[in-house]
């Protein structure tokens, strides 16, 4: 099928490449000319394992192309909206880019009428799909559906190629049939429902996963006081088939482009409709305060942080991405700088982005250099390069062997046996 994807960010580019890999003829559209030029050369503007190689493959196969001109999408049977919906000042999702893209589609359709399916993949407030359908009501043979994405940064391409489920929001059988044709061969559970239900499914999924994380982080605070090990607690409850092991790891809190933005957007939807989601309010509060709570334990060990050298291992919000949006590392840097600490940081791919925000931090290209002369070290992101280490070399590099594991990913027992002071999240130090 001929498909257009408007927006070539994280979701749009992954969507375009995965559809092209599945044999569809795809054109990616973006208003940023520099980004389109980069994509045409086969270079991905985002770091995502396997994505650039896949992009180069589909460019060679000529199943994908990129342009700034939506008129080149005239023959598209399906048009995906994958533009950003950033958080507005009041916490609501900003639909400026969505509505601008809808207007572009309307103008395209007026110039070249044809039967087309408009698919909203951007994460949007409940009711947006219906609003778009109303805006396009005079466009004959133009159908509107919701098809939310459930991509995980770091494994987005695999998630797009092998989704856990496909959710389609439409009561239009023409749209549903075309989307079934598009996804033919993808053998996963299929949920067809209303546009509003599909939109809420996306928000609810992210809000629930965020809730699991914050629940474990609250348990970690309790464990730190009563001497239990939150990692063992997570293992024990995760073996319950009603719960499962995913998203039960205590740490420094969630970040990225989805959970922070989507939880506040859902709270705003509830507020506008006179409903209070008190659990979700607390989820956000726990996440907001988690880095400071953990670092307070570092300060208890080193009361005078002024002038101390602290090594930070990992800066992106999670491994296998260069995304630093709402990354816990930024809160960690803020806290330590306010205390007057000197920071040396390492990350395999995210240094450039963080350096633009914090030029006075010392950045290294090797994890061992980050430990050099450090009075303490904090693991912020569990990259393999940050956890698979020669601990004898680490200890020899450090001024004082104090390790604070913000992801419970370092080998606690081994480190204690080697003479390190080790403290994880929701674990007793020693």
Residue entry with tokens 């698919």: 119
Phi first, then psi: give them for residue 139, nearest 5 degrees.
Answer: -90, 100
- Return the structure tokens found at 332: 């960690």
Cβ neighbourhood burial of 62 (10 Å; 0-12, 13-18, 19+): exposed
Strand order in the sheet with 362-364: 362-364, 342-346, 309-313, 376-379, 402-405, 421-424
* 254 close to 287: Cβ distance less than 8 angstroms: yes
Please, where are the H alpha helices in 41-171? Answer: 51-61, 96-111, 128-135, 156-161
Q: Within 10 A of 262 (CB to CB), how many other CB atoms are there?
A: 22
Which residues have a Cβ under 8 Å from the Cβ of 262 and sit 6 or more positions away? 123, 202, 203, 206, 207, 210
**CA distance linking residue 100 with residue 297, whole number of Å:** 48
**CA distance linking residue 212 with residue 201, whole number of Å:** 17
* 45 close to 188: Cβ distance less than 8 angstroms: no
Q: Within 10 A of 187 (CB to CB), how many other CB atoms are there?
A: 8
Q: What totals of helices (H) and strands (E) does the chain contain, helices first?
A: 17, 14
**CA distance linking residue 381 with residue 373, whole number of Å:** 21
Select which of 82, 139, 258, 386 is catalytic: 258
Triad 323, 327, 332: Cα angle to 5°: 140
Q: How far apart are the first and last CA of the chain?
A: 60
Write the DSSP string, 153-212: TTSHHHHHHS-S-EEEE-S-HHHHHHHHHHTTT--S-EEEE-HHHHHHHHHHHHHHHHHH
82 catalytic, yes or no?
A: no
**Beta partners for residue 192, in sequence order:** 168
Q: Which residues are catalytic?
A: 258
């Amino acid at each position: 099928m001929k498909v257009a994807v408007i927006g070539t960010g994280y979701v749009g580019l992954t969507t375009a490449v995965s559809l092209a890999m599945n044999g569809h003829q795809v054109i990616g559209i973006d208003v940023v000319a520099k980004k389109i030029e980069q994509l045409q050369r086969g270079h991905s503007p985002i770091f995502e394992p396997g994505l650039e190689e896949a992009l180069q493959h589909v460019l060679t196969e000529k199943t994908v192309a990129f342009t700034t001109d939506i008129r080149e999408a005239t023959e598209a049977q399906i048009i995906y909206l994958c533009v950003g919906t950033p958080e507005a000042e009041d916490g609501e999702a900003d639909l400026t880019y969505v509505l601008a893209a809808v207007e572009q589609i309307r103008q395209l359709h007026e110039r070249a009428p044809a039967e087309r399916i408009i698919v909203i993949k951007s994460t949007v407030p409940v009711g947006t799909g219906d609003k778009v359908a109303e805006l396009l009501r005079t466009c004959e043979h133009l159908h509107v559906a919701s098809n939310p994405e459930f991509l995980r940064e770091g494994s987005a391409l695999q998630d797009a190629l092998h989704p856990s489920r496909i959710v389609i929001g439409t009561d239009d059988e023409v749209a549903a049939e075309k989307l079934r044709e598009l996804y033919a061969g993808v053998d996963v559970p299929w949920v067809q429902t209303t546009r509003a239900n599909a939109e809420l499914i996306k928000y609810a999924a992210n809000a629930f996963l965020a809730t699991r994380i914050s629940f474990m982080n609250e348990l970690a605070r309790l464990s730190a006081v009563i001497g239990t090990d939150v990692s063992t607690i997570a293992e024990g409850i995760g073996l319950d088939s009603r719960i499962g092991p995913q998203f039960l790891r205590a740490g420094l809190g969630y970040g990225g482009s989805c959970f922070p933005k989507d939880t506040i957007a859902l709270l705003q939807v509830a507020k506008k409709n006179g409903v209070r989601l008190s659990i979700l309010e607390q989820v956000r509060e726990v996440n907001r305060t988690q880095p400071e709570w953990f670092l307070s334990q570092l300060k208890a060990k080193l009361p005078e942080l002024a002038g101390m050298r602290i090594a930070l291992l990992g800066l992106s919000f999670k491994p296998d991405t260069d995304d630093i949006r709402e990354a816990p590392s930024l809160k960690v840097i803020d806290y330590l700088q306010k205390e007057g600490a000197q920071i040396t940081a390492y990350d395999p791919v995210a240094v450039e982005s963080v350096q633009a925000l914090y030029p006075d931090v010392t950045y290294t290209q090797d994890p061992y250099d980050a430990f050099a002369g450090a009075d303490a070290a904090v693991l912020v992101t569990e990259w393999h390069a940050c956890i698979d280490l020669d601990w004898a070399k680490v200890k020899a590099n450090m001024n004082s062997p104090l390790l604070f594991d913000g992801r419970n990913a370092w080998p606690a027992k081994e480190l204690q046996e080697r003479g390190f002071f080790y403290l994880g999240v929701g674990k007793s130090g020693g």
